[in-house]
Amino acid sequence: MNPHEIGQDTHSVGDPGPATRALIEAVADLSTTRHAEITQYMTERISAEIEAVSTDRHTRRSLAQAAEEGVAAMTRFLRDDLEEIEIPAASYSLVRMLARQGFPVSVVDRSNRLAQDSIMRWCLEVLAGLSDDAAAVMQAGVEILMKLSAGIDGVSQKLLGVYETERDTWLLNRNASRTARIQDILAGRPIEVGDAEHTLGYRLGQRHLGVIVWTDDIEVVGGDRSGTEWNGLEQAVTTLAEHLGRGGRVLFEQFDEYTAWAWIPLGTVDRIDPRGLSGIVAAWQRPVGVAVGAPQEGIDGFVRTHRQAAQAREVALTSALPGPRLVSIDEVGAVALMCTNLEWARGWVGDVLGRLAADDPAAAQLRHTLREFLSSGGSFVATAERLHLHRNSVAYRISKAEEQIGHSVRECRLDLENALALCHWLGAAVLAPDSEIPPASG
């Protein structure tokens, strides 16, 4: 049939007549002869618009193979008026590869949509040259669009299902291997460093900051367990790492549903300012607790900074202070050591502070003033500036504190500082009712 004779009898949309069917078959025949052209067009569009797919040679080759077989499948779908598009093996292979490489599901979905748009554009462009009958061309175009849309929607749903299954399996295997390596390192078991770094995706021979994050809020945990959606704990670690601004991949390990461990690479930095991180955490709307160790280097440092973070977290969990907050081992080192025996710590605090260890507002005010006084080097002026008080008010409070303690605050200073730190961080856990407080010594 002459192309310009195609379409002389038209039927309503959804019930294509012989002429409309002939136009569709003519498009399918052309797609067979120009198969390589369509494949190249589709591959180039996907590679150009999804850069991540085009960066790996093996992935590019798999994409080209999937496009080639996909065009052939869509051609058969149109030509033979099939009920659904037969998904080629290369498409399944590509989707599984993308899942194992950690590409988000959006890449798979976007690739499917670009493939659909590419074949539709090509069909409509060639359709216009097959007949002078505008109505027939329009009807055939609508039929092609509707048929391809329905067919490719079915393909997309199946491929996304394959992606999710493969992604879940991959994450399970990867996380199991990664968790095993982390546990080996923390337990001091011998490892092959190169293999461990490959499994973790993280360099062990660098300076690290150990971090533990936790929450009791189910909304923070949130997200898709496959790891493709937002996770509040991981986002918290990412925010802290961005503030430190040292680059490098963070190692994040979900310990349980409400707790995660992380190691942030620090480059050449050997000290951090907990106050800067505390300001970030305090501004969060979601209740996430953060404990950090001190910067440590190498495999031994990997272990030590994590243990320090765990000690800091123990202080935070024992503390009655409200969250969200950040607790650094630099602030609570001595306190962390005493958290293991709270009964002993409570008795020691009472011995050191005397009646200043009372669990009441008046004693709390004196403890706070004395702690600031000692941390400022025993300066009345500096303490007054910090607390926004008159110098004489500070002097009065220090005098009252000495009465409660039973001696000058210049004596036994280290014990005083440690006892006050315990009171600050652990609160009622190391304080005692007034009836249990011994009288001040003469």
The CATH number linked to 42 is: 1.10.490.10
Owning domain of residue 35: 3-169
406, 440 Cβ separation under 8 angstroms: yes
- Full pLDDT tens readout for the chain, 442 residues: 444 444 444 444 455 678 788 888 888 888 888 989 999 999 988 888 877 676 667 788 888 899 999 999 988 988 888 888 999 999 998 898 888 777 788 888 888 889 889 988 998 888 888 887 888 888 888 988 898 888 888 999 999 999 999 888 877 777 888 899 999 999 999 999 999 998 998 999 999 999 999 987 655 554 443 333 336 888 899 889 988 876 678 999 988 778 899 999 998 888 888 888 888 888 887 788 999 999 999 999 999 999 999 999 988 888 866 666 889 998 888 888 888 788 888 899 999 999 999 999 999 999 999 999 998 888 999 999 999 999 999 999 999 999 899 899 888 888 999 899 899 888 888 897 765 665 554 4
| Whether residues 32 and 94 fall in one domain | yes
Instruction: Round the CA-based radius of gyration of the chain to a whole number and report it.
Output: 34
Residues 81 and 219 in one domain: no
Same domain, 154 and 9: yes
149 domain-assigned = yes
Reported in sequence order, the residue ranges of 32-72 that DSSP labels E, i.e. its strands, are none
Say what the pTM is: 0.57
> Which of these three, 331, 366, 390, is where a domain ends?
331
Structure tokens given for 278: 């505390």
Report if residue 184 sits inside a domain: no
pLDDT of res. 352:
92
How much is the pLDDT for 9?
A: 45
**What CATH number corresponds to the domain at position 305?**
3.30.70
For residue 392, CA distances in Å to 73, 125, 366, 409 come to 88, 89, 14, 17
141 and 238 in a single domain? The answer is no
373 in the same domain as 316: no
State the burial class of residue 186 (Cβ atoms within 10 Å of its Cβ: 0-12, 13-18, 19+).
Answer: middle
180 within a domain of the structure (yes/no) = no
- If asked whether residues 149 and 97 sit together in one domain, one would say yes
Say if residues 292 and 304 touch (Cβ distance below 8 Å): no
Is residue 371 assigned to a domain? Answer: yes
254 and 321 co-located in one domain:
yes
Instruction: Give residues with Cβ within 8 angstroms of 176, minimum separation 6.
Output: none
The answer to the question of residue 135 being in a domain is: yes
Q: For residue 336, tell me if it sits in a domain.
A: no
How is residue 409 annotated by DSSP? T
> Is 249 in a helix, a strand, or coil?
coil
Q: At what angle do helices 134-186 and 193-200 cross, to 10 degrees?
A: 140
Task: Tell which of 288, 303, 331 closes a domain.
Answer: 331
Give me the pLDDT at residue 226, please: 38
- Could you write out the DSSP letters of every residue in 341-395? -HHHHHHHHHHHHGGGGBSSHHHHHHHHHHHHHHHTTS-HHHHHHHHT--HHHHH
Q: How many domains does the chain have?
A: 3
Give domain status of residue 93, yes or no: yes
264 and 149 in a common domain: no
Residues 300, 345: one domain? no
For residue 193, tell me if it sits in a domain: no
Is residue 90 located within the same domain as residue 9? yes
Reading the block at residue 391, the tokens are 């110098």
